[in-house]
Structure 1
Amino acid sequence: MSNLKTLLYHLPIGIVLTLELAITPGIASPTPSQFFFANQSTIQLAQSNPPPPPTNPDRSSAGGRRNPSNCPQDTEAATSSPLLTALSPTTKPGFTLSERPTFLIYVPKTSAKNAEFSLRSRESRGIYRTTVALTNTPNLINLTLPTQTPPLTIGQPYTWSFAIICNPNDRLEDRFVTGMVQRIEFDSARLRQIQQASLKQQVALYQKADIWYDALTVLYQLKRSQMNDPSINTAWRKLLQSGGVNTMINTNLEKENPR
């Protein structure tokens, strides 16, 4: 067993993830939009070598939690607080119109210093990986794919993962979650309707079309700029609930994510 752990530890990704890809049907139409992703709090991701395909034989469904319990050294963390959670729908497809979407992860209070984000294609080909410094936890971390990464292919499902590195010397102790994302297109008239709408109207239009990630991104911006608006907080809870995500997540967004 020790030899197995040593072998796994020396893999470039340093972690064995459970990633079962679920193919969801695409929706045909013409061009994507990126206008709503100008999020000032977005973490700047450093480019790194893509991760290798996952090898964990355990099975689990796409999206949501995988191994979200606290790190071994954080056993005294409040059990009533939400656990590590990927804000990715588990009851519906995770669609986006963006070439390089934004991902949100709730990170509970932890003594771990770093986490790792990675994105893989349907064929388990590594697309992007970066290390994220963990500060001010608990917090809601947002990550947007940088311009150096290739745009998501329309109709292609991708798996993303976020792992808290509990022990840098033994990556088998990582606590991680995964999510699914798939880019689709809208026709120009429908896209123009969204672009000309107010942010609150954009959320409603995205939700009506099941464009989960884009609705979530706009709501996140609204929560940061209008924290005391009860209608936004209600829309936030309803969106998470509609996707099967833990509705307890309503973290204090006054905390700035690390840049």
Structure 2
Amino acid sequence: MKRLNKILSVTMGTAGLVLGQAVLSTSSSLFPRVETAPGRAMVNASPITYVPPNRGRPQQTQGTGSRGCEAISEEKGDAIEVTLVTPTNHTAYTVSERPVFYWLAGHTVNRPVEFTLVEDGNPNPIYVRRLDRLEAGMNQVVIDSEQALEVGKTYRWTVSVICNARRRSADVFAQGWVERVAISDELQAQLDSATTPEEIAQAYAGSGIWLDALAHLSSDSDRLEAFEAELENSATLSEQDETTVQN
């Protein structure tokens, strides 16, 4: 969470830092709650109320690279970190053929960044995008090729900071998973009746479609709030699960 506070300060300035600290320091009992399953409730501290699908395998992993990699950052001595703006304990859903992917960085790093998208079970990437450097704050990539995600398939997406092009094992990276699902009749009806971007974002969020909900929010600060709320909710559910097991 401290890492996200730092990212918030870089992305949104002083006002954003105050907002981020408020989200993290406020008791979850003060947030409105929506029941997602018996005995489970979700913290709502964001512009949308995200109702996750059935949670599966942990869906975000990270690699810290090799020693010395942090020396290339603008803030000497700080470790380079990439945080994907995606749920950490279940696969993110999308209904889009070419969704938008978001990630966060605490500070700018003048090294290339590589985004890759790989279908589960196929080692060959279906999409690769190279960026000149890691930018502080919110970053994004839109799939802009003819290759489209297929309904019912799961994909792994990875953001890598290339510290040493000759030794890719030194990369700092983060990876998560996304699955494309079909639009349900209920969701389609909600989208048809929505009149604002906020209503569209909420329709997706209420149906557990994370990536599309983020894409329809109007600002990066809203996306950060939604992500903070999901992290808080995941932590709350983990505590509830541990308590249930102990009892």
Instruction: Please classify the TM superposition score into its range, dividing by the shorter chain length.
Output: 0.5 to 0.7
For residue 106 of structure 1, give the secondary structure of its aligned residue in structure 2.
strand
> Which amino acid counterpart does residue 71 of structure 1 have in structure 2?
C
Q: Match of 2:225?
A: 237
Q: Aligned partners of 2:207, 2:119: CA distance in 1, in Å?
A: 24
The answer to whether the 8 A contact 1:112-1:166 is kept is no
Contact in 2 for aligned 1:105/1:141 (Cα 8 Å): yes
1:120 and 2:126 matched: no
Q: Distance in 1 between matches of 2:169 and 2:119?
A: 23
Partner of 2:44: none
Residues 83-162 of structure 1: pairs in structure 2 closer than 5 A: 83-124=81-122, 125-134=124-133, 137-146=135-144, 148-162=145-159
Alignment pair present for 1:187 and 2:180: no
What is the TM-score normalised by the length of structure 2? 0.60
Give the Å deviation of 1:210. 0.8
Structure with the larger helix share: 2
2:182 is paired with a residue whose SS is coil
Corresponding residue number in structure 1 for 2:163: 166
- Measured after TM superposition, the shift of residue 129 of structure 1 is 1.2
**2:223 counterpart of 1:223:** no
Cα RMSD, aligned residues only? 3.2
Residues 170/244 of structure 1: CA separation in 2 closer, same or farther (3 Å cut): farther
Do the aligned partners of 1:64 and 1:86 also contact (CA within 8 Å) in 2? no
Structure 1 pair 209–139 and aligned structure 2 pair: CA distance change class (3 A): same
- State the SS of the aligned residue for 1:126: coil
Q: Give the structure with the higher percent strand.
A: 2
Give the share of equivalent positions with the same residue, in percent.
23
Q: CA deviation at 1:127?
A: 1.0
Q: How does 1:31-42 map to 2 (within 5 A)?
A: none
> Following TM superposition, by how much is the alpha carbon of 1:189 offset from its aligned partner in structure 2, in angstroms?
5.6
Question: Residue 128 of structure 1 aligns to which amino acid in structure 2?
Answer: Y
What's 2:239 paired with?
none
CA drift of 1:223 comes to 1.1
Q: Paired residue for 1:47? A: none
Give the secondary structure class of the aligned counterpart of 2:183: coil
Q: 1:64 to 1:86 in 2, by over 3 A?
A: farther
Query: How far did 1:195 drift?
Result: 4.3
Q: Which amino acid aligns with 1:99?
A: E
For residues 76 and 232 of structure 2, the distance between their equivalents in structure 1, rounded to whole angstroms, comes to 23
- Which consecutive unaligned segments of at least 5 residues does structure 1 have? 1-59, 225-232, 247-259
- Give the secondary structure class of the aligned counterpart of 2:214: helix
Paired letter, 1:97:
V
Deviation at 1:208, TM superposition (A): 1.1
- TM-score, scaled to structure 1: 0.58
